Chain A
Amino acid sequence: MRGISLRGVTKRFDKLVAVNNVSLEIAKGEFFTLLGPSGCGKTTLLRCVAGFAEINEGGIYFGDQRMDKIPTHKRGVGMVFQNYAVFPHLTVKNNVAYGLKARKITGSEMEERIAQALDMVKLGGLEDRLPNQLSGGQLQRVAIARVLAIQPEVLLMDEPLSNLDAKLRVEMRGDIRMLQQELGITTIYVTHDQEEALSISDRIAVMEAGMVRQLGKPWEIYTEPQNAFVASFIGNTNLLTATAREVKNGALVVGCRGTATGEQEENDARLAECPDLAFGVPVDSGFIPGDEIKVAIRPEAIEIGRRAVMPESGAWPVEGIIRRVEYLGYSVKYELELAKGLSFLVTSYRAEPSEIREIGQMVKGYYLLDRVRVYKSGGVA
């Protein structure tokens, strides 16, 4: 088992730079996730590691061995595809046998490894089925068994769960994580689903426009987003464009200039709509009055419960009218209109019936200053 290192990998399609000078060190046995919106280059990077796409610059190494000039079938990688890519003309058993036969593993050893692999993905007994007799979840299990049977050094997964329904997705990702840990295979996993990435990974690289925007453990990515893009892409975030004004009541007070939902380009039309409201951000955020900044406040950082009491210090009040209520059982999502043209998403885990707010209600709440993240304004931070 070896780790993977990507050193200054760049991949271009004509003029489009799909992967821009990406360097990553993935430890052996690590479950590493590339996370990002569609078109961010995550799948292209994975395909470069698999050998389906040739890189233009840089190097791809498994351990100390340079791999980027070696053809796919000699790289010893196992790949799981979004659309399963199970061979439709072969039975489950022969699908799993395919990679073994290619490695000249036959006879009793082959039988043993097939049985083992099918057992791992809980498909025992379906050996002689053809793919068109299987469900989507079963197909993806065949694809995984097929890869596990060849005992690859590196496991590559390209959105393997995105064609499955929500419940199965959650179940399968648990299974995948368990298998990966049992076998200790170095894994690169590509997804656009941030919840999936957070739940399954040892480390995550959040990508945008061909570049890694943040690299870290799931909780680091979620609680300490390093820039406005990551803050808005991971989870829901109320993102404001603002100008810092003054220090008052233990907070740096900023004037709202507009809202943004993760778009890099600032939208002039939206800026014009924003009412003149002041928000508090931490004093120690490193900004001084006059700075143009972006403010990110998580929906769950805002407290609007009926019994909530705002602390004496370190908090900032918010006040508005409930415009939308989404009851999700374990939580309630609100849309809180602070003023005409500016609404906050609020997630409350106080979901008991006595706590639930109603549409049209005027509510007073607050957020804690240390839950607020502040970034330099103006594109890439």
Chain B
Amino acid sequence: MKNTFWNLTAILILIAVLFFLILPVTRVLLGSFQIHEGGSWTLANYLKFAEYRTYWRSLGNSIWVSCVASLIAIAMGVPLAFMVSRFNVRGKPFLIALSTIPLMLPSFISAFVWVLLLGRAGVVTQFLNAIGIPFTSIYGHLGVVLVFALQFYPYIFLMTLSGFNTVDESIEEAGRSLGTGPVKTFIKVSMPLVLPGILSGTLLCFMTAVENFGVPMIIGEQQPYLAVKAYTEFTSEIGDHPGMAYALSVVLIIVTMLSLMAQRYYLRKRNFIQSAKGRPVLRELTGWAWRLAGGYAFFIVCFPLIPFIVCLIISFLKMNGPVITSEFSLSNYIYAFSRAARPIFNSYFLATMATLFSVFIGVPTGYILTRRKGGVSDALDLAIMLPFTIAGTVLGIALIVMFNTGFLVLTGTLSY
């Protein structure tokens, strides 16, 4: 009886996944092999992709900026995790809480504020030019990389931190007693144990960056990026030949899927069991070393928060047309709530509903995955990983294609 109930639930969830995820994405996949809807099967879209520089450059750009951003994020997050885990840095819980803020706020807002600061007419740009430092703007790769790195480094920081925290004290002591000094022990013993955490964080950072649409849209300017390209192809050519947008979507899915598979392959043999007896010893730094470590940690954590602080400040400044004045006022908020109440309501309403749906689907799924074994559960495990590999833009396109006519119309309703 109990089994029947859970199997039924699993099948219902699978049907939902099939209907709202697999079918639309399959439709995109199939559509990428047609020029027109219902046309003959062809590789034309992919040939066009290979032929035109702008398309494969968009692929190259997306991968390039995501890779560079990930490397910078590693450089930010890993040393920070090491310091927070091993040294007596002050205000640790506060620091960790602060570090998660970039993940909670939309990346395109961050991109927008960086334009305000470092765009062609940006405040900082003008200041730099005034004191004689030549700097034009951060538009292009530089800006995209900057925003990605600052925005997504917490993935790497948090996963690495948990890695460092679970390296058993006695494992490192064993290394030292066997004859390697502290530094060599760290390289030979601790690092290999933390590496899976670093890689998982890097993968999250990379995938989020590759899929990101808002940041390159705002700050990428002339450069083409995959997610942006797919979206613009779709909106400008809908009803004409959307095949190209589908092909770009498929390319995007392939990139994210490949990186996920690479990570899973690497982790396959590195699922270390750790019987953490004691957490690693906290090294007490004093004097300058302590100040330096603390200063570094706070700098790394606070720098990515600049856009949000600036955004907060600007929101309280009086606007004179498009020009920001230095006068404090609540006029922006009054304007927002009186004129744009509907969008605000929509955002919160949709987010709330989406969360509720996620809970209704996610909780039973989690239960089934951990407590029940067997065919249905395995299928569910696979299906539930799919959304990870599919960019929001692609899924949006897929859902529009699937449900803009027929018995279930989602386009233009609250279902986005």
Contacts and interface: CB of A to CB of B under 8 A. Distances in A.
Interface of A: 50-52, 71-73, 75, 77-79, 81-89, 98-99, 102-103, 130-132, 143, 146-147, 150, 156
B272 A132 contact: yes
Contact of B273 (A73, A77, A132, A146): A132
Contacts of B9: none
A87 B174 contact: yes
Interface stretch (B177-185, B213-221, B320-328, B387-395): B177-185
B412 to A, nearest CB: 53
Given A89-B192, A132-B273, A73 B170 contact: no
B165 to A, nearest CB: 16
A340 to B, nearest CB: 45
B193 A89 contact: yes
B175 interface: yes
Interface string B271-283: 1111101000000
Interface string B46-85: 0000000000000000000000000000000000000000
B168 A131 contact: no
Contacts of A86: 174
A85 B173 contact: yes
Nearest to B174: A85
A103 B179 contact: yes
B180 A52 contact: no
B170 A50 contact: no
A147 B178 CA distance: 7
A99 B177 CA distance: 8
Contacts of A79: 173-174, 177
Most chain A beta carbons < 10 A, residue from B180, B185, B192: B180
Contacts of B177: 50-51, 72-73, 75, 77-79, 156
Contact of A82 (B178, B193, B269, B277): B277
B219 to A, nearest CB: 40
A52 B272 CA distance: 25
Nearest to A99: B178
Contact of A87 (B175, B179, B269, B275): B175
B178 A102 contact: yes
A50 B179 CA distance: 12
A99 B180 CA distance: 8
B189 interface: yes
29 contacts: A51-B176, A52-B173, A71-B176, A72-B173, A73-B176, A75-B177, A78-B178, A81-B170, A81-B173, A81-B174, A82-B277, A83-B277, A84-B275, A85-B168, A85-B170, A85-B171, A85-B174, A87-B171, A87-B174, A87-B175, A88-B171, A89-B192, A89-B270, A89-B272, A98-B178, A102-B178, A102-B184, A146-B178, A156-B177
A146 B178 CA distance: 8
A231 B70 CA distance: 64
Most chain B beta carbons < 10 A, residue from A84, A85, A87: A85
Nearest to B171: A85
B277 A88 contact: no
Nearest to B274: A88
Given A85-B170, A85-B173, A88-B193, A150 B273 contact: no
Given A83-B168, A85-B171, A87-B171, A73 B180 contact: yes
B170 A131 contact: no
Contacts of B168: 83, 85
A132 B179 contact: no
Given A71-B181, A72-B177, A79-B174, A87 B277 contact: no
Interface residues of B, number: 27
A96 to B, nearest CB: 10
Interface of B: 168, 170-171, 173-182, 184-185, 188-189, 192-193, 269-275, 277
A132 B274 CA distance: 9
A83 B170 contact: yes
A73 B181 contact: yes
A150 B173 contact: no
Which 5 pairs show the lowest CB-CB distances between chains A and B?
Answer: A102-B179, A99-B178, A88-B272, A85-B170, A85-B174
A102 B189 CA distance: 12
Nearest to A82: B277
A82 B170 CA distance: 9
Contacts of B184: 102
A87 B170 contact: no
Contacts of A150: 178-179
Given A72-B177, A87-B175, A98-B188, 8 more contacts: A71-B176, A73-B176, A73-B177, A78-B178, A81-B173, A88-B272, A98-B178, A130-B269
Most chain B beta carbons < 10 A, residue from A51, A77, A88: A88
Most chain B beta carbons < 10 A, residue from A72, A77, A147: A72
Contacts of A52: 173, 176
Contacts of A77: 177
B273 A88 contact: yes
B100 to A, nearest CB: 29
A85 B173 CA distance: 8
Contacts of A146: 174, 178
A86 B274 CA distance: 10
Contacts of B181: 71, 73
A98 B177 CA distance: 11
A156 to B, nearest CB: 8
A84 B274 CA distance: 11
A79 B169 CA distance: 13
A103 B184 CA distance: 13
A50 B169 CA distance: 14
Contacts of B176: 51-52, 71-73
A103 B178 CA distance: 9
Contacts of A130: 269
Contact of A98 (B175, B271, B273): B175
A147 B270 CA distance: 24
Nearest to B270: A89
Contacts of A78: 177-178
Nearest to A84: B275
Nearest to A158: B170
A156 B174 CA distance: 11
B166 to A, nearest CB: 11
A237 B181 CA distance: 47
Contacts of B277: 82-83
A198 B309 CA distance: 67
Contact of B179 (A81, A99, A156): A99
A35 B189 CA distance: 31
A83 B275 contact: yes
B273 A131 contact: yes
Nearest to B176: A72
A287 to B, nearest CB: 46
Contacts of A51: 176-177
Contacts of B185: 73
A128 to B, nearest CB: 12
A143 B182 CA distance: 20
Contacts of B275: 83-84
